[in-house]
């Protein structure tokens, strides 16, 4: 079935399901207050994933699909479970977004760029998770370790010109900074500023390489 045909069918079915849930809630037959949005978000997220499964060229659909599923999980957990130790939203949503980008690479190995935003978002999620359970550990250090590992992962990818070598530089520096943050971060006020400057410098470096590649 072509996308142009089953897209209206899915949207129509989604509206019908939403209307049924609202009616059940209005008649006090079912308390849908906590279930409505998780179910709707899950259905919409599943729609995007089905779009990808039907046509593997539609790899972009993985990103909204997995992201919406992570938001649905967050809404459901917040409705039924109380988390006071840490911000669960800061863990689940960035983790879901990061996972979506990593799955884009798994689905299409030509989209190696997806590893970078995927690694960044997963690193943010892990950082917040570590801070929630191990507050004595410097979260920023964990974040930079994740960034370093992300760039080092790029060195294992085979491209038309062979394996990339340039990620060794930012990867090694970010790993070193991560260890410095963990060991000395609590005692040095200058480290947060160095971290921000490092991110800006690496961002400019990546943009410069991309511009240079197009000019060649």
Helix 62-80 and helix 36-54: axis angle, to 10°? 160
| Lookup: tokens for 12 | 């129509």
Which pLDDT does position 138 carry in this prediction? Answer: 66
Which pLDDT does position 185 carry in this prediction? Answer: 60
Helix, strand, or coil (residue 158): strand
Which pLDDT does position 216 carry in this prediction? Answer: 47
Which pLDDT does position 178 carry in this prediction? Answer: 83
Which pLDDT does position 21 carry in this prediction? Answer: 66
CB count within 10 Å of CB 123 equals 24
Residues of the chain below pLDDT 70: 1-15, 17-19, 21-34, 80-87, 89, 134-138, 185-199, 202, 209-210, 212-216
Which pLDDT does position 28 carry in this prediction? Answer: 63
Which pLDDT does position 183 carry in this prediction? Answer: 75
Q: How far apart are CA 135 and CA 87, in angstroms?
A: 13
Task: Please state the domain extents for the chain.
Answer: 1-108, 137-216
**Contact 127/143 with Cβ under 8 angstroms?**
yes
| Lookup: tokens for 84 | 């006071």
Which pLDDT does position 180 carry in this prediction? Answer: 78
């Amino acid at each position: 079935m072509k996308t142009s045909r089953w897209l209206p069918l899915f949207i129509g079915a989604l509206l019908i399901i939403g209307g049924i849930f609202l009616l059940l809630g209005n008649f006090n037959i079912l308390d849908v207050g906590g279930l409505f949005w998780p179910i709707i978000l899950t259905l919409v997220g599943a729609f995007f994933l089905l779009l990808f499964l039907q046509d593997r060229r539609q790899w972009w659909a993985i990103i909204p699909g997995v992201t919406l599923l992570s938001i649905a999980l967050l809404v459901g957990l917040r409705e039924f479970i109380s988390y006071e130790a840490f911000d669960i939203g800061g863990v689940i949503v960035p983790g879901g977004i990061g996972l979506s980008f990593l799955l884009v690479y798994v689905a299409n190995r030509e989209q190696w760029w997806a590893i970078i935003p995927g690694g960044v978002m997963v690193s943010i999620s892990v950082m917040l998770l570590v801070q929630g359970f191990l507050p004595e550990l410097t979260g920023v250090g964990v974040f930079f370790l994740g960034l370093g590992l992300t760039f080092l992962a790029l060195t294992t990818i085979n491209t038309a010109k062979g394996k990339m070598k340039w990620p060794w530089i930012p990867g090694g520096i970010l790993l070193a900074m991560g260890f410095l943050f963990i060991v000395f971060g609590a005692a040095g006020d200058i480290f947060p500023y160095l971290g921000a400057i490092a991110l800006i410098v690496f961002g400019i470096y990546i943009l410069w390489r991309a511009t240079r590649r197009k000019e060649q």
